[in-house]
A and B are shown apart, each in its own frame.
Chain A
Amino acid sequence: MASAQLLGGSSPVQHLTVVELAQTPAGEQTGKFVADLGARVVKVEPPGGVASRHVGPFVRGQEDVDHSLEFWTYNSSKSSQVVDATQVEDRAAFAALLAEAQILVVEDRAWLSELGVDLDELLEQRPDLIVVAVTPFGLTGPWQDYRTSDLVALAAGGLLNSCGYDDHSIPPIRPGGNQGFQLGASFSWCALLLALIERQRTGLGQLVDISLHESNAVSCELANPYWFYPKAIVQRQTCRHAQPEPTQSALFECGDGNYVYFALILSEQKAWSTLLAWMVDLDMAADLTDPAYQDIAYRQQEFSHVQELIEVFCLVQDADTVYHEGQRRGLPIGRLNAFEDLPNDVHLQERGFFVDLPTPEGDAVTYPGLPYRFSSFETTPGRPPSLGEGDHE
């Protein structure tokens, strides 16, 4: 079994059966959220497997359907059932599976039709069923048939407009990790929980129609309020908040070639004093000890000089030191960790965040755990399923 392990208490979703028809991170992550908490999530796949099984990177270069790390990322704790839509008996098996389910996650209405199920008829026949449709632009509207990708979702949704470099001859740059899809998944998950709560009260399910486009459009943080209120368009700036006007850099390179993020707000007296004391301790404060710098206006006037001294201050230290010493002194500084840094982080180790995820071969790989902890129950992710391994469950 590939399902999540219940380590203590009882999970509120452990008795749910979810059928998932998904092959992008939007629907797959939605299924993973509920699977990792102990629900039975049956991933329905066509012969040959869903598209995500064919996308690299692959485990140690093994290019087959059971070793895609793209698939592993979004499909832990699920089982897999192959359904050939061209086969009558397979469509019957799918109908039987759906009859057992309380929740259906679907990305593509046409795929559901191929399996012999019309969405409208299904909703009529199964008033208790929760159907979570997470689609590029939503099930209605003039763009309902438009295609998307992660890059396109981030662009059309507005988020990409805030991301990139100070140099605007460079186009906006997509943040990595499929975030355009992930935003849709987060809202599908929340909507799924809303629908579960409502069903607990009324006994009725419902159609949840989540749009990736809208999920991105409502997640641009300051950009929309800046338009709604002062009618300002924010401008992208390297690794810091897009704002109506340019601000000083917040990215500092350290002596070991790594970076830290530190936004010094010159008007914050306490942060200024803390930084100054730190620079003095390292004999790096130069003329900043001049009493004139106690005045905010003077600091702001001299900010490029201040900035240069901080640049040098960071360059003579390594990023780990700047991060931890800065935090020890109470400054909100973050090291730009690379992926290999994360499993070695003592804080994450102490919290047991990374888990040993079993693989189909019987060994284990390092895998991120759940982002939330409940005192009343605990689960840990199960392995991603091999193609069709749940066919006879």
Chain B
Amino acid sequence: MTQNTFSGSPANEATTPVADPSRGPRPRSGPLAGVKIADFCWMGVGAVATRLLADFGADVIKIENRKRLDTPRRLPIYKGEVRSYGAEEANPDPNKGGLFNNYSRNKLGVTVDMGDPRGRELVHDLIEHCGIVTENFAPGVMEKWNLTYPELREIRDDVIFARMSGYGHSGPQAHYRSYGPVVQAVSGLSFNSGLPGREPSGWGLSYMDNQAAYYNSAGLMLAIYQRMLTGQGTEVDVSAVEAGIGLLGSDLLDTVVNDRPSRRPDYPRGNRLEHPDAAPHGVYPASGEDQWIAIAVFSDDDWKSLQVAMGDPAWAGEPRFATAADRVAHHDELDVLLAGWTRDQGKHDLMEKLQRAGIAAGAVQNAQDLAEHDPQIAARGTFFELDHPVIGPALFEGFPGQLGTSRPDHWRSAPLLGEDNDFVFGELLGRDADTLAQLAAEGVI
């Protein structure tokens, strides 16, 4: 256990609150305990990628620049203040952002000015200490700092260098600017979502910030596993666009193998399926404003169960709905009639009623439903709470499963800006207090 101290220099005063011994770095538990990462990741995709490793015991040392705050530190997702992002303040409190807290829990945080040779020297030592480097900058940034894979191997021959980008680090568009929605557009993931005959509805989130992050976590862990087996390091290059294309499913093969155009009047299909025959299959209104339930009926048995659950209304027994093919052929009418039955019922009650009847059905839950009404999330402990010196106690999204022994180790909420400078540069890298005080005073850390 190491006491978390701080220099108290003027340069730190604005952003480093009182030292709290309970937040001091400690030996970690979990399958990745002992794994150390010099983490240049920022924004969404990189931060989520290394978060999983931090959850399971890795010392992820997040490297930040005071002169260019990580965007999630700036986004106004604050307690008690409802604002859309894009409406951030000019000089936000870097320790107040909920999104940053969510993305960087369980990580250590240091600040370094890479424009200063003394900053780069510290980072050089940190890389030697860690042996794993992660980054998701625009291509060219690591090159500018002479931190390419061959150069990193001169620091440590077994180094793992995980690069996360929109387009990958080769090819004529490697330098293109991207973030989740651009990746979704270019990979085809926005095109394939929507109602036929309308503009695509695409995605209401940076889905690829999450999915590319999970692929990056996997790539990084594969590299760690390989080094455990062989002692050999590697460079990992993950392209979010390519990960996105890999997620398009069989519709992609229908086009590239069968030459079936995806630009066609009946595509995309909204909430309906083409394969297999499934009807009713859709999202139906429930009681309350903008409340919905998803119902998916695949087999004739499912349909019979639904008829019983609805109390055998006469319309459901009509021959036009007798077989799956009939129901698909009359899907529009079926939707209207089914919506007439669902619209006055509570989405959660309806979900339970239908599921008990053996029908795949799910309330369209929002975040409040997940956090406050979902008995499965509650029973499984998916969300958990950690305290934070500025934000206070807050919920986090945990690992979506339970493992026999590889348990997560949730030791701390996200680091305050530069919170672990003294521990990392002092205790781990051996700089003395006077040196650290001077580096802090001169804005190097």
Contact = CB atoms under 8 A, between A and B. Distances in A.
B160 to A, nearest CB: 9
A245 B400 contact: no
What range describes how many residues of B lie at the interface?
Answer: 35 or more
**Which of A213, A250, A267 has the most C-beta atoms of chain B within 10 angstroms of its own C-beta?**
A213
B221 A193 contact: yes
Given A151-B296, A230-B81, A334-B186, A158 B98 contact: no
A25 interface: yes
Interface in A145-187: 146-149, 151-165, 168, 170-179, 182-184, 186-187
Given A208-B404, A217-B382, A339-B252, A172 B292 contact: yes
A240 B204 contact: yes
B400 A210 contact: yes
A218 to B, nearest CB: 4
Nearest to A207: B404
A179 B202 CA distance: 13
A226 B84 CA distance: 9
A392 B194 CA distance: 46
**Which of B182, B296, B364 has the most C-beta atoms of chain A within 10 angstroms of its own C-beta?**
B364
Contact of B274 (A56, A141, A197, A205): A56
Given A160-B364, A173-B195, A261-B185, A190 B217 contact: yes
A391 interface: no
Contacts of B248: 176-177, 339, 368
A173 B271 CA distance: 6
A220 B276 contact: no
B193 A173 contact: yes
A214 B399 CA distance: 8
A244 B214 CA distance: 26
A214 B377 contact: yes
B230 interface: yes
A110 interface: no
A160 B193 CA distance: 12
B139 interface: no
A260 interface: yes
B298 A149 contact: yes
B380 interface: yes
Contacts of B136: none
A347 to B, nearest CB: 4
B368 A247 contact: no
A196 interface: yes
Interface string A193-231: 111111011101111111101111111111111111111
29 contacts: A10-B230, A57-B260, A59-B257, A69-B257, A73-B253, A151-B362, A155-B292, A156-B365, A158-B369, A159-B205, A163-B202, A187-B399, A189-B218, A195-B31, A196-B225, A198-B406, A206-B404, A208-B403, A211-B400, A219-B211, A231-B80, A232-B82, A243-B85, A253-B199, A261-B182, A334-B181, A347-B171, A367-B256, A371-B246
The 9 A-B residue pairs with the shortest CB-CB distance, nearest first, are A206-B404, A334-B185, A214-B400, A239-B202, A156-B362, A162-B204, A227-B367, A229-B98, A155-B294
